[in-house]
Amino acid sequence: MPIYRAPIDDFRFVLHELLEVERHRDLPYFGELSADLIDDILTNAARFCEEVLQPINQSGDEEGAHFENGVVRTPKGFKEAYRAYCEAGWGSMAGPQSAGGAGMPMLISMMVAEMAQSANQSFAMYPGLTSAAAMALHATGAEWMKASILPKMISGEWCGTMCLTEPHCGTDLRLMKTRAIEQPDGTYRMSGTKIFISGGDHDLTDNIIHMVIAKIPEENGHIQDDLSTVNFFMVPKFLVSEDGKMGARNAVNTGGIEKKMGIKAQATCVLNFDEAVAFRLGPKPTPPKPGEKRSASAGMAGMFGMMNAARLGVGIQGISVAEVAYQNAYAYAHERRVGRALTGPMDPDQPADLEIVHPDVKRMLLHGRSFIEGARALAMWTTMNMTVASSNHPDKAKAELLTDLMTPVIKAFFTDMGYEVANMSMQVWGGHGYIRDNGMEQFVRDGRINQTYEGANGVQAMDLVGRKLARKGGAAPMALLQEINSFIAESKDDAAMAPFVGPLERGLSSLQQATMWLASHAMHNPNDAGAGAVDYLRLMGIVCVGWMWARMAKIAQTKLAKAEGNTEFYKAKLVSARYWMERMIPECPMLGERIAAGSETIMAFV
């Protein structure tokens, strides 16, 4: 059976040494966040994930979710684990105290989410999506919803989903056909089909609160082929009165569960809405005035808020699957004996040396570790910025810009790299990695979906290049470049930092040149932006993770110079930092060259 041990020491490092959370008492929810409280949360969450969730991950994959006679059932052990998860309060950590949540900073809940996803991605998606749906309801719902429905979602008594995709319509929401018709009592009747709905139906809770997007037809019944009439709705599986009592079954029926290559214990459903009762969230779309251009409905705001939170969560799933796959590959490399070290036998009394002695095995493992720890740092730095952006902090405006910019990078780059690390980790096992009993191939299958859902990674790249770079006159990339340049300037005279600052500066130069190239070419030929978007996103991801590694290397060097803390831990940090600078940063000029090649050859393909 595969293993998993939560990386508590690295969480502590990121929180206390890199982000210095103790210095941010002025941020919402940080005032009472002591080191002891953080440690208690992380160690108990780790124990739960290791002892309750991880043991049913492989068995849940083997069994999968069931659909029989219109009823969806989760695999053996999932209902009991979900009940224990809710009773322990893990799902309600970041929920508002007004609705029964613990009011913990998102920074802490994201670390718990990472552990849960490493231990059992299929399971973690049920409460994870519920949390995203609950926050959307908290932001956009009517007061009676916040009073009667939200607390039950925060506690886990009821689950939640997000319903966007339709059989003919994924990313292009203009093509949606699901419609919601207003009724005299102010509710709506919704009809249409949604597919790929994670947690769409199951037996973990008595009710499921679906957060759905649909179009509101015009008075003549016509549906516009744009986003002007798209709105956000709450559609419960069982109707709920304003006093919170659950009533009759709503007209939401499960058409089946998808037969998938991975996350098989996650009930990914087809949902049919047949005149289902729906409650509008957010403002009603207003028809444009004569001659006025149609624009996206204000009702889309709630959906985008939920999607952005989900995209950050999926990016962390990329870290999670890389972490658990790396751990199992590392353990195997220290147990399996094969061949001899190139410089001569390391264990002459044994028939062969351990696999870990071979340079290529070390390369694959170090590739994984350097990504995981660097990406974790960037994800938590971004999560901290999300908290700043939602507060009245002096840096609020800058934090909003950086969060907006980083969201597609974290979603796409982290899931690309997470899948890459899972593949390499399976490779460390050789042929045994291909055998289902050993569990490695499950990580590859589970990790592959992360690149696709919540907006495929190519779409994330176009969001970055087509929207985020130019928004507000390019304020976001300028803010990021200024942050990295400031660090370089502060560290450049430190000779010990040369192996980290020099490569970071070269990577940043490639990023700046690519940004300028896109700015000067994409307006004249949008295909240039499309052809270079994926490379540009990877370039930004490599540089940003490199920046985190340079910062962490500076901390590690200071600790080692003072002989403080666990010296082996800090030495390992420096090895991982050097790997990123020596093996990943050199990709930057190559990516820049590909971006500057433009789109002519690509567009010639028919």
Task: Give residue-wise pLDDT tens across range 264-278.
Answer: 999 999 999 999 999
Answer whether residue 533 shows pLDDT above 90: yes
Listed residue (203, 239, 204, 206) closest to 70, CA to CA = 203
The two structure tokens encoding residue 99: 């609705």
CA 461 to CA 449: how far, in whole Å?
17
Helices 359-389 & 106-119 angle (0-180, nearest 10): 150
299 pLDDT tier (thresholds 50, 70, 90): low
Residues contacting 299, CB < 8 A, separation 6+: 230, 231, 232, 280, 281, 282, 283, 284, 285
CA 183 to CA 372: how far, in whole Å?
51
Q: Specify which residues 211 forms β-bridges with.
A: 162, 234
SS3 280: strand
pLDDT of residue 218: 83
Answer whether residue 111 shows pLDDT above 80: yes
CA 366 to CA 333: how far, in whole Å?
12
CA 317 to CA 419: how far, in whole Å?
10
CA 465 to CA 514: how far, in whole Å?
11
Listed residue (424, 456, 422) closest to 442, CA to CA = 422
298 pLDDT tier (thresholds 50, 70, 90): low
Q: Are 137 and 146 in contact (CB under 8 A)?
A: yes
Q: Are 57 and 123 in contact (CB under 8 A)?
A: yes
pLDDT top residue among 522 and 413: 413
SS3 178: coil
Q: Which parts of 334-439 fold into alpha helices (H)?
A: 359-389, 396-428
Answer whether residue 535 shows pLDDT above 90: yes
Annotation marks residue 454 as catalytic: yes
Q: Are 14 and 108 in contact (CB under 8 A)?
A: no
Q: Which CATH superfamily is domain 8-155 in?
A: Acyl-CoA dehydrogenase/oxidase, N-terminal domain (1.10.540.10)
Q: Specify which residues 210 forms β-bridges with.
A: 161, 235
The two structure tokens encoding residue 394: 């002096």
Torsion of CA 410, 412, 416, 421, to 10 degrees: 10
172 pLDDT tier (thresholds 50, 70, 90): confident
Residues contacting 211, CB < 8 A, separation 6+: 133, 136, 137, 160, 161, 162, 163, 232, 233, 234, 281, 302, 303, 306
Residues contacting 506, CB < 8 A, separation 6+: 585, 588, 589
Tell me the residue type at 122.
S
CA 436 to CA 62: how far, in whole Å?
9
Task: Give residue-wise pLDDT tens across range 300-357.
Answer: 666 777 777 889 999 999 999 999 999 999 999 999 999 999 999 999 999 999 999 9
SS3 assignment for 315-359 = HHHHHHHHHHHHHHHHHHHCCCECCCCCCCCCCCCCCCCEHHHCH
- Total-model pTM: 0.95
pLDDT of residue 289: 67
Task: Give residue-wise pLDDT tens across range 119-132.
Answer: 999 999 999 999 99
Q: Which of 102-106, 197-201, 205-209, 508-512 has the lowest mean pLDDT?
A: 102-106
pLDDT of residue 296: 62
pLDDT of residue 221: 78
Task: Give residue-wise pLDDT tens across range 188-241.
Answer: 999 999 999 999 999 999 999 999 999 999 878 788 777 778 899 999 999 999
Token pair 């974290």 in the structure block, residue: 410
CA 539 to CA 175: how far, in whole Å?
32
Listed residue (12, 74, 65, 71) closest to 38, CA to CA = 12
Going by the DSSP 8-state scheme, the letter that residue 42 receives in this structure is H
Q: Are 561 and 525 in contact (CB under 8 A)?
A: no
Token pair 């009667």 in the structure block, residue: 148
Q: What are phi and psi of 200, to 5 degrees?
A: -60, -30
Q: Are 295 and 228 in contact (CB under 8 A)?
A: yes
Q: 159-286, what's its fold?
A: Butyryl-CoA Dehydrogenase, subunit A; domain 2 (2.40.110)
pLDDT of residue 309: 81
Residue 80, CA distances (Å) to 76, 83, 120, 572 in order = 9, 5, 14, 39
Region label for 563, one of left (φ > 0), alpha (ψ between -120 and 50) or beta (otherwise): left
Task: Give residue-wise pLDDT tens across range 347-361.
Answer: 999 999 999 999 999
Compute the mean pLDDT over every residue in the chain, rounded to the nearest whole number: 94
Mean pLDDT of 561-566: 94
CA 384 to CA 343: how far, in whole Å?
46
Task: Give residue-wise pLDDT tens across range 574-589.
Answer: 999 999 999 999 999 9
- 499 burial (CB, 10 Å; 0-12 / 13-18 / 19+) is middle
Q: Are 58 and 443 in contact (CB under 8 A)?
A: no
Listed residue (541, 63, 20, 49) closest to 320, CA to CA = 49
Mean pLDDT of 13-39: 92
Answer whether residue 605 shows pLDDT above 80: yes
Task: Give residue-wise pLDDT tens across range 352-405.
Answer: 999 999 999 999 999 999 999 999 999 999 999 999 998 999 999 999 999 999
pLDDT top residue among 184 and 29: 184
SS3 130: helix
Percent of the chain with pLDDT over 90: 88
Q: Are 251 and 273 in contact (CB under 8 A)?
A: yes
* Cα torsion angle, 395, 401, 406, 407, sign: positive
Q: What angle do CA 366, 368, 374 make, to 5 degrees?
A: 95
Instruction: Please tell me which residue in 114, 441, 454, 505 is annotated as part of the active site.
Output: 454
294 pLDDT tier (thresholds 50, 70, 90): low
Token pair 């593949």 in the structure block, residue: 423
43 pLDDT tier (thresholds 50, 70, 90): very high
pLDDT top residue among 524 and 432: 432
Listed residue (17, 123, 18) closest to 78, CA to CA = 123
CA 25 to CA 388: how far, in whole Å?
12
CA 339 to CA 361: how far, in whole Å?
12
pLDDT of residue 293: 65
Residue ranges covered by each domain of the chain? 8-155, 159-286, 457-606
Strands 268-281 and 230-236: antiparallel
173 pLDDT tier (thresholds 50, 70, 90): confident
